[in-house]
Amino acid sequence: NVAVIQREGQYTFYADGIPILTAPVPDLTLSEEIVHLPMLFVPQPQRALVLSGGVGGVLNELARYPLKRIDYAELDPLLIQAVSDFPTPLTQAELSDPRVVVEHVDGRLLVRGKMRETPFLPRERYDLVVLNLPYPSTLQLNRFYTLEFFHMLRELLAEEGILVIGCPGTLTYMSDELRHLNTMAYHTLQEAFPYVRPIPGDVTLWLASPSDELVEASVEELVARWEARPLETQLITAPHIRLRLDQRYVDWFWASLGETGDDAKA
């Protein structure tokens, strides 16, 4: 059940009543942060996988990197058709990028299918997997937040690859609902990955990886890596990175969850 609403030239695309993406003006903060912050932990990214919410910003941000391939699937394949039926300069540029391979299947089916590919060579593994779905609130969405699915995604990641998911967050008051949702995300990721790291904010970005680079890299090392990359962004800058990775926010976040954060390392 896909619907498209237009208002003053801005399109919002819905799947089963849930807003998935907007164009031609994207959610700039989320699009830049969900791509560029996890990419800080990947020295030389080559391949990316986007599961939902790709067009309308995320693919545009990934295109700034010298990636060889970007695989992309939506929660509902009909969304991609709807985007093609209501084109904007942003979405047309994203989908016409020759590195973008659009998979017209459900994202979970795509992952399961790749798990069956033989052999799945190391050079074909992903340096970044972006799970840009609405928060788990329906049976359809919950399938993407299970331990089984996270285990499958780990098998698709490169040695220093990163999985990033978003959860509702806060930097002021942690309600019981927010606490339960973020605690669930943390503990489920922790069962599948040896290293897990949150980036607190209005949207909590949960990063998970098989590599200790995720938890060992210092903020200044990450800033230096960012400054060495010739990327033009509107939001992400060295001061913004320092702010988003400020240890005081991380300490407050762990305390608000009732966690120490010590178990984020293997």
pLDDT at residue number 122: 61
Number of neighbouring beta carbons within 10 Å of residue 203? 18
pTM score of the predicted model: 0.93
* Sequence-distant (≥ 6) Cβ neighbours of residue 87 within 8 angstroms: none
**CATH number (domain holding residue 79):** 3.40.50.150
> Does 16 reside within a domain?
no
pLDDT at residue number 152: 94
Q: pLDDT tens digit string along 19-35?
A: 888 889 989 999 999 99
**Torsion angle, alpha carbons of 162, 47, 15, 9, to 10:** 110
> Does 116 reside within a domain?
yes
> Does 6 reside within a domain?
no
* Domain with 106 in it: 25-264
Q: pLDDT tens digit string along 192-247?
A: 999 999 999 999 999 999 999 999 999 999 999 999 998 999 999 999 999 999 99
> Does 3 reside within a domain?
no
> Does 156 reside within a domain?
yes
> Does 231 reside within a domain?
yes
> Does 118 reside within a domain?
yes
Report the domain count for the chain.
1
> Does 2 reside within a domain?
no
Q: In what order do the strands lie in the sheet with 18-23?
A: 2-7, 10-15, 18-23
Mean pLDDT value across residues 96-118: 87
Identity of residue 211: S
Lowest mean pLDDT among 32-36, 67-71, 75-79, 98-102: 75-79
